Amino acid sequence: MFDRQCSRFLPVAFLLFVASPALADAKPSEQTKSRPHIVMAFADDWGCYASAYAKHFPGTASEVISTPKFDSIARDGVLFTNAFVSAPSCTPCRSSLMSGQPFWRCDKASILLGAVWDFSLPAYPLLLEESGYRIGHTYKVWSPGRPGNAPYGGSRTASNKAGSKFNNFSQFVMKAEDRDAAKAKLFDEVRQNIRNFLDADNDGKLDGDSPICYWFGPTNTHRKWIAKSGHELWGINPDDLEGKLPAYLPDVPEIREDFADYLGEAMAFDAALVVLDEELQRLGIADDTLLVVSGDHGVPGVSRGKCNLYDFGTHVPLAVRWPSGIEHSNRVVTDFVSLPELATTFLEVASVEAPASMIARPITPLLTSEKSGRIDPSRDAVFTGRERHVATAREGATPYPQRAIQSDDWLYIINFEPERTPMGDGPEIDAEEFPSEEALRENTFAAYADLDASPTKAFVALNREKYPEAFQFMVGRRPRIEMYDLKSDPDCLNNLAGHSDHAETEKQLNDRLIGELKRTGDPRMSEPVMFEHGMFVEPVGPGNKKKQSAKPKNKK
């Protein structure tokens, strides 16, 4: 069934991308000069934490972090409070964003380790390039996967000549004798990489006559970062996070410090945004640039963050500035938006027709509206999902398949294979042996490989007898259906699925979710399920040789 559905979508995209005379023959012209520049700043593993969100999400870590540049971009444009990824996993999220459709329609690019970019899949940067845009990228765009950064032109369009030390921000700065000088060196690297694409001859003018499509993607917010760096480099007091983290996490100094270090890396990204904007301003193109800032999913190595369909894993920041296109700025929009919708938005503002397979609807009407709050009543929910992350997290290299619908009031999740371990195989709570604290902190593949190695992971696992519920929330098996009342239970602690008082709501959510999956041709709705066979269950990538260490060690 899925193959037939794909045959309806992918060839259309392929023909438009490869054979369309309108695109293939396009050259810079007067029309291209009137189209906006498009710049995407995308942080790895950065969840919805920014000081601009403090008043919208009181009592959270957004009250502790300081992100002045993100905040100013939001003030000068539009701040979205309900932006979500299609999948809380790097490669699938980016595949969906590039191709303008849910991740489950991205075929070989819908998983993490083992992903392959099939060029019959449309990619907005390549479509823009065919229409006359000059494209380029710095740091990470699409990976892990083969070929690396394929949907953005790969190494051909990379701009990293000054290096990539910024991706290890705290590692580099914390070991330096002069930390201010070390910071300055990294920000200069950022500047030179950006300038190499925008203004390589350093004459103060944008190179070439074409509009640009540029991606700025540091990975410093991806683990590992250095302990105490949040406090020492950015002045974040871990104790200020007391009472501001989700209730399923033990509110202890070890976890607060770990999260403070994460917020510090997000502040480093914000400081890099200053450099990016300075270069846009220096060249006089900021007013004609559609600038988008976001992240690819929630925090890594922390319970229910990355690789989870809870709000903590799928909710991301989103601010858009476009002075020449957004007449009414300083607006806060509460409509639910999904990151794949950026692809069709970029194509629309560039006057490029989106291929038929790009089914995500543009958010352009939200950008050009004069309204705030809920603008489009139909944007009352978002759909998310997950298949395989780390290839060898579970016996047989199987995925942990999930789909969800989230609205203002409800989160409804289907766990299609509830007998599998959601974060990967590892010791049960009553196991006699566990990996060491160092292994859980430093080696993702020591156990529960879909949860990054971290101090939080180590603390919860090794203090499971004192905090048994926290351990279960982190790695325990889950029922097939989860349903949470987000108004009364924002941390999703009380599963209401199966309760007679909510039977009608459960049915409505299930019908709407299943209807969306069928409408969009999700392979999970077909037999045999594509994601359970072939390349989708091959034990490839990091950790393959350590597969046995991820298996339960319970001797009972």
Q: Are residues 351 and 464 in the same domain?
A: no
In a domain, 49, yes or no: yes
Is 113:145 a contact under the CB 8 Å cutoff?
no
In a domain, 54, yes or no: yes
User: Please, which residues bridge with residue 482 across strands?
Assistant: 413
Q: Are residues 406 and 369 in the same domain?
A: no
- Structure confidence at residue 548 (pLDDT): 34
**Distance from the first to the final alpha carbon of the chain:** 44
Q: Are residues 210 and 93 in the same domain?
A: yes
Query: In 3D, which of 141, 134, 126, 55 has the Cα closest to residue 95?
Result: 141
Give 354's contacts (C-beta < 8 A, 6+ positions apart).
100, 122, 127, 343, 344, 347, 348
Residue keyed to tokens 């944007």: 379
In a domain, 12, yes or no: no
Is 61:72 a contact under the CB 8 Å cutoff?
no
Q: Model pTM greater than 0.95?
A: no
Q: Which two tokens stand for residue 277?
A: 């904007």
Q: Which of 325, 360, 376 is the last residue of a domain?
A: 376
Give 232's contacts (C-beta < 8 A, 6+ positions apart).
174, 179
The total number of residues written for the chain in this structure: 556
Q: Are residues 348 and 470 in the same domain?
A: no
Q: Which two tokens stand for residue 7?
A: 């045959």
- Structure confidence at residue 540 (pLDDT): 81
For helices 179-198 and 253-282, angle between their N-to-C axes, nearest 10 degrees: 40
Number of domains the chain is built from: 2
- Amino acid (1-letter code) at residue 444: T
CATH number at residue 127: 3.40.720.10
Q: Which of 361, 376, 391 is the last residue of a domain?
A: 376
In a domain, 544, yes or no: no
Q: Are residues 41 and 83 in the same domain?
A: yes
How distant, in Å, are the alpha carbons of 396, 446, 556 from that of 435? 21, 7, 17
Q: Are residues 316 and 192 in the same domain?
A: yes
Specify the DSSP class assigned to residue 159: -
- Structure confidence at residue 34 (pLDDT): 82
Is 144:112 a contact under the CB 8 Å cutoff?
yes
In a domain, 350, yes or no: yes
Specify the DSSP class assigned to residue 43: E
What three-state secondary structure class fits 135? strand
Q: Are residues 267 and 409 in the same domain?
A: no
In a domain, 75, yes or no: yes
Is 387:450 a contact under the CB 8 Å cutoff?
no
How far is it, in rounded angstroms, from Cα 304 to Cα 405? 16
In a domain, 381, yes or no: no
Q: Which two tokens stand for residue 443?
A: 């080696």
Q: Are residues 185 and 124 in the same domain?
A: yes
Is 324:91 a contact under the CB 8 Å cutoff?
no
In degrees, to the nearest 5, what angle opens at C-alpha 301 toward C-alphas 300 and 302?
Answer: 95
Q: Are residues 339 and 407 in the same domain?
A: no
In a domain, 423, yes or no: yes
Q: Are residues 313 and 182 in the same domain?
A: yes
User: Which residue segment(s) compose the domain that 479 sits in?
Assistant: 402-536
Q: Are residues 313 and 358 in the same domain?
A: yes
Q: Are residues 320 and 354 in the same domain?
A: yes
pLDDT tens track, the chain, 556 positions: 333 333 333 333 333 333 333 333 334 444 445 899 999 999 999 999 999 999 999 999 999 999 999 999 999 999 999 999 999 999 999 999 999 999 999 999 999 999 999 999 999 999 999 999 999 999 999 999 999 999 999 999 999 999 999 999 999 999 999 999 999 999 999 999 999 999 999 999 999 999 999 999 999 999 999 999 999 999 999 999 999 999 999 999 999 999 999 999 999 999 999 999 999 999 999 999 999 999 999 999 999 999 999 999 999 999 999 999 999 999 999 999 999 999 999 999 999 999 999 999 999 999 999 999 999 999 999 999 999 999 999 999 999 999 999 999 999 999 999 999 999 999 999 999 999 999 999 999 999 999 999 999 999 999 999 999 999 999 999 999 999 999 999 999 999 999 999 999 999 999 999 999 999 999 999 999 999 999 999 988 655 543 333 333 332 2
Give me the torsion for CA of 206, 207, 212, 218, rounded to 10°. Answer: -80
Query: In 3D, which of 262, 323, 325, 261 has the Cα closest to residue 295?
Result: 262
- Amino acid (1-letter code) at residue 497: A
